[in-house]
Amino acid sequence: MSIRARLDAGEPWPLGAMAREGGVNIAVFSEAATQIDLCLFDGDQETRLPLPARTGDIWHGFLPGGGPGLRYGLRAHGPYDPGRGQRFNPHKLLIDPAARRLDGPVVWDKALFGFDPDHPERDLSFSIRDSAAFVPKAVVEADPATRALRSPPDPGRLLIYEAHVKGLTRTHPQVAPEARGTFDGVAGSAVIAHLKHMGVTALELLPVWAFADEPHLPPLGLTNYWGYNPVCLTAPHAAYGPPDSFRRMIDCLHGADIAVILDVVLNHSGEGDEYGPTLSFRGLDNAAYYRLDPTDPRRYLNDSACGNTLRMEHPQVLRLAMDALRYWVGVMGVDGFRFDLAVTPARHKGAFDPSGPFLSAIAQDPLLSRALVIAEPWDVGPGGYQAGRFPKSWMEWNDLARDGLRRFWLANGRSGDLAAVLAGCAARYAPSGRGPRAGVSYISAHDGFTLADMVSYGHRHNNANGESNRDGSAIELSANHGVEGPTNDLAIRSLRDRQRRNLLACLLLSLGVPMIRGGDELGQTQQGNNNVYCQDNPLNWLDWGGADANFAAFAARAGALRARLPQLGRASFLNGFPDAKGKRDVVWLRPDGGEMSPADWDALPRLLAMRLTGAEKASDLLVLINGQPHEQSFRLPPGPAWTIALRSAGDDAPAAAGSSLVVPEMSLVALTS
């Protein structure tokens, strides 16, 4: 195809570089730039073409003869005046924030900075070094067809599995070596078979949008492994595979009836604070894309604790984000999103606003309003803890469940608090008219201890991260049970294993939407490191060869048990009152079989039995919980015959139960009728 080295006017929509009949249309937002250059690359040879037209604040042009495979970048001209919030520097090649594909990673070099990092005035200086050799080039993609709308997943049967593309597949012996660490590896039959065996109905992937390392990591031999550092909202991370591989992965997972949720970052970008690199947004229009300190526009508001905050209330920044989310649903096929630090994009005029631009834009969108949307309902800014305050259509990470389960089993918590978690945390979600499905309950996630580590370590061990063990949370509700880390003491190892089972069983037998951290079912340890964001090594890669087969089998049985009990996925909270047939949805019982009275919750702080009534022809569930250091006999409710379905101590093979049952110390038993 012949390409003319000039641009026609083109159109201001859509944003990005799009293949059209006869060429490529390019549209870029910048309200303060004086010129935007489209930079074409043939190998290392660069051709710069100023965009010839401007409609409002959208710069645009049309490249006759261009098409899929065209490699390009952007350069922006304008004032370099950090004190006034502007940092234009045409010596820096910029990533198109709406690119659909990048040809590689950011390669760290001082040329990436818009200033001279060795200059005494730092970001007030100006760099004339060209950065093109170190910046990935965007690649024009053929425009795939929009997918047919898929029915949203039933939240009542969700079991979410949080995983990392590379970590899930890097060491899997049944994944082809060339597919390990990629979308193709996740799409493999062995991985999907494991997810199905665990009862997983939704796979939540850690960030797959193109991301960069923080500048301090490469000199330490570390990387930003997790990916919470985006440089482009629509291009998949190049190391994981191209867009068509992502779409194939989606098709394979959907074919197995597994939904896909993306963990996405719209609170900050990978450009860091005022001392960070100029990779994209900063160079295109710093004051438009970012929230700046109104008293000192040289500085950034930092509600994300990652150096900057995207200005989501700006119409064009919001447009970029909404276009990206629609693309990932409508073209790439995902079923929903988990929004990292979701309070940050939901801020308006500095404060969290449930009716603000970001949340309102999603609510009114005919495509995104059908998607699963999950909030991490906090950030580090003023008034940043907003759990329970997101709109009714949203789900939220439920830290009350995480802390309540850990506190009961690992920190001598009380049965009343555990009961609140088992019942779905009504005190948090009911006041706003929401049900238990509003909460995504979990005991562990990518940040923090793994399940194995939370029963083996009393404090963090993060020296490998290069920050003298200062990073990561200093507070973990964990217990080492007598020895810090690995031990040959069989009694301690047995107790730790029982505690893992207690925690996982309570999670999967509670109301709400459960999420398990990928690798917990295999017994994965991170050696006490609770912040492995920078560890691209076996600390993060799932150890399929060293998997704890017994615990994995227990996890699969617990998942299967949940799937048989639709009352655990109910839309409304429990009330305990008799229905028209005299049945009560829940009864809380003492070990002697009597119903718990208000005084009993104080008198029996470590004992609890919960009976959940099933629907017509469905099983009832009875969970007996003994948090004491000695065994406890429980009298079983009369009526139906009870069968042991799961127990955390000893053999948990199904077995008939009599009129009473002895529950060993620090353990639980689940029975069905």
CA dist 88 and 153 (Å) reads 44
Closest CA to 104 of 232, 281, 273: 232
Contact present, 43 and 103 (Cβ < 8 Å): no
Cβ contacts of 549 within 8 Å, gap of 6 or more: none
Catalytic residue among 37, 96, 271, 376: 376
* CA dist 238 → 139, 221, 232, 549 (Å): 11, 20, 11, 34
Cβ contacts of 491 within 8 Å, gap of 6 or more: none
Contact present, 395 and 442 (Cβ < 8 Å): no
Residue 577: exposed, middle, or buried by beta-carbon count in 10 A (0-12, 13-18, 19+)?
exposed
Tell me the residue length of the chain.
673
Is 313 a known active-site residue? no
Which amino acid is residue 530, in one-letter code? N
Tell me if residue 610 falls in helix, strand or coil: strand
Q: Assign residue 50 a region: left if phi > 0, alpha if psi is -120 to 50, beta otherwise? A: beta
Token match 């200086």: residue? 125
Catalytic residue among 96, 271, 285, 340: 340
CA dist 99 and 175 (Å) reads 30
Q: What is the DSSP string of 139-171?
A: E----PPPPPPPPPP-GGG--EEEE-HHHHHTT
Residue 34 per-residue DSSP state:
S
Contact present, 33 and 285 (Cβ < 8 Å): yes
CA dist 473 and 478 (Å) reads 12
CA dist 538 and 524 (Å) reads 10
Is 214 a known active-site residue? no
For CA atoms 88, 94, 95, 96, the dihedral sign is: positive
Contact present, 238 and 103 (Cβ < 8 Å): yes
First to last CA, the chain: 70
Q: Count CB-CB contacts under 10 A for residue 486.
A: 12
Measure the CA dihedral 293/294/295/297, to 10°. 60
CA dist 562 and 467 (Å) reads 41
Active site residues: 340, 376
